[in-house]
Chains A and B, each alone.
Chain A
Amino acid sequence: MPQVKHVPVRAGDVLLMVGTMKGAFLLRSNAARKRWEKGGPYSVGAPVYAMALDQRKGRHRLWWSEQSFRWGTVLRSSDNFGRTFTEPETYSIKFPADSGVTLKNIWQISMGNAAEPDAVYCGVEPAALYKSGDVGGTWELVRGLFDHPHREKWVPGGGGMCMHTVMPDPVDSKRMIIAVSTAGSYRTEDGGKTWRARNQGVRAEFLPEKYPEFGQCVHKIAQSTSKPQRLYLQNHWGLYRSDDGGDTWQDIANGVPSDFGFPIVVHPHDPDTAYIIPVESDEYRCTPEGKLRVYRTRNGGKSWQALTKGLPQKDALETVLRDSMATDSLKKAGIYFGTRSGKIYASANNGDSWKLIAEGLPPIVCVKAAVIEETKKAPRKALAKKAAKKTAKRAKR
């Protein structure tokens, strides 16, 4: 077994959480994002499809799913960036015995918004949503979606019947969008009691009816945090934008080499800027012409520009999966992606140029990024300074 290395993570650092088919890795850098230090692996040997960092209420709780092909799928968390982590006696996410269903994988871990600072959500396979209202202490199947009449007609895509997108609205905690491959996207506006398919305008190339109510193979949806009604969608054939929270979708595949792909992310501060990595056809699923190109739109999808500086433009037959692209929240946004061939590329300037920051990793299935916030606990140095001031005041008296 490989030696596990821990990285020292400090406030102000950028942390990349990288899930691979053989465990999880952490990469840290300071805000300059020039040098990266790699830690891990955690959950050695197991696929890690979902990672997240909870920084609400002063927490630094790292979450990840471990899909052991032997021992089943377990949700783990760590409050010290992997040095120690939970080993639950009983698995926290399990389907009810009467459902007849068994958990295959956890694909997504999402935090509730500011109004729900203790809520955590998991999107799982077979497609279902779980909610914890107590920061992961207990979990409940969201029955409103599990019992949805459409559910029996959902079918698995190539990756399984996965709920890969779980997006609590940044403002309205009753509202959430989820997406399932292959079912399409659904939205609740009453905290999960009822759900409506939200796929109008999204094509289902592989069905006799090209624009059905549901059944689309949505690969990923991204939501603008500054303008929550603005969504971008990478479909199994098709690239879309919605300006009404998913009610309707407009085709924005304007000038891209392929409208097939997996990941899509929105710039953290500009709702008109989004990033994709097109791949060639659903049979080949590699970057076209052996060129690794990120495509960026700065006008909501009216046009797309190839970003190539620092990316290999020859013999680069790469695949980037749906959850393997992320942005940080710094002013000059960091954009990151990981490939199935175990490489991680990073841009520290909104995508203008790129750098290979890690290679030789197992196939990458998940990349998440976070800027580490100060904990609410007063740091030791600050406490010592305060104490010294008090002593000095007393001495003056």
Chain B
Amino acid sequence: MAVTFLIPAHLAALAANQKTIRVEAQSPTVRGALEALWQRHPALRDRVVNEQGEVRQHINIFVGSECIRFVDGLATPAPEGSEILIVPAVSGG
């Protein structure tokens, strides 16, 4: 199923400068969509998730307007036609 990722400039630089990436996911979850994204652009993986496969603390992922942290994490549904937004959190010092 087709989903579309919207990614920030830092990641776009590692994905042939594309800020919008459409992928065909094998399963209708955020995890499935991300797996398809890693296949297309492997450099994005380590920047978005850690070695345990967890989304990095200061990265937020939204399906539509819902932050997956408050839904079901990587198991959050991402049905056909979803827009998935990856954004760095507003944090730091």
Q: Is A87 an interface residue (CB 8 A)?
A: yes
B64: chain A residues within 8 A (beta carbon): none
Q: Are B43 and A72 in contact (CB under 8 A)?
A: no
Known: A94-B51, A97-B53, A102-B52. A72 touches B89 (CB 8 A): no
Q: Are B89 and A70 in contact (CB under 8 A)?
A: yes
Using a Cβ cutoff of 8 Å, how many contacts connect chains A and B?
Answer: 46
Q: Is B45 an interface residue (CB 8 A)?
A: yes
Q: Are B52 and A71 in contact (CB under 8 A)?
A: no
Q: Which of B42, B47, B51 contacts A71 (CB 8 A)?
A: B47
Q: Is A206 an interface residue (CB 8 A)?
A: no
- Which residue from chain A places its CB closest to the CB of B54 in the assembled complex? A102
Q: Are A90 and B51 in contact (CB under 8 A)?
A: no
B56: chain A residues within 8 A (beta carbon): 70-72
- Which residue from chain A places its CB closest to the CB of B53 in the assembled complex? A97
B59: chain A residues within 8 A (beta carbon): 70-71
- Which residue from chain B places its CB closest to the CB of A104 in the assembled complex? B50
Q: Are A71 and B10 in contact (CB under 8 A)?
A: yes
Q: Is A282 an interface residue (CB 8 A)?
A: no
Q: Give the CA-CA distance A87 to B88 in the complex, in Å.
A: 19
Q: Is B19 an interface residue (CB 8 A)?
A: no
Q: Give the CA-CA distance A36 to B12 in the complex, in Å.
A: 37
Q: Give the CA-CA distance A97 to B57 in the complex, in Å.
A: 18
Q: Are A69 and B46 in contact (CB under 8 A)?
A: no
Q: Which of B50, B88, B89, B91 contacts A103 (CB 8 A)?
A: B50
Q: Is B58 an interface residue (CB 8 A)?
A: yes
Q: Give the CA-CA distance A75 to B58 in the complex, in Å.
A: 19
Q: Give the CA-CA distance A72 to B59 in the complex, in Å.
A: 10
Most buried by B among A69, A74, A94, A95: A69
B58: chain A residues within 8 A (beta carbon): 69-70
Q: Give the CA-CA distance A71 to B89 in the complex, in Å.
A: 11
Q: Give the CA-CA distance A70 to B11 in the complex, in Å.
A: 11
Q: Is A209 an interface residue (CB 8 A)?
A: no
- Please report which residues of chain A, range 91-110, place their CB below 8 angstroms from some CB of chain B when the two chains form the complex: 91, 94-97, 100-103
B51: chain A residues within 8 A (beta carbon): 94-97, 102-103
Q: Are A90 and B45 in contact (CB under 8 A)?
A: yes
Q: Is A152 an interface residue (CB 8 A)?
A: no
Q: Give the CA-CA distance A368 to B86 in the complex, in Å.
A: 37
Give min CB distance, A257 to chain B, whole Å: 32
CB within 8 Å of B: which residues of A?
69-72, 74, 87, 89-91, 94-97, 100-103
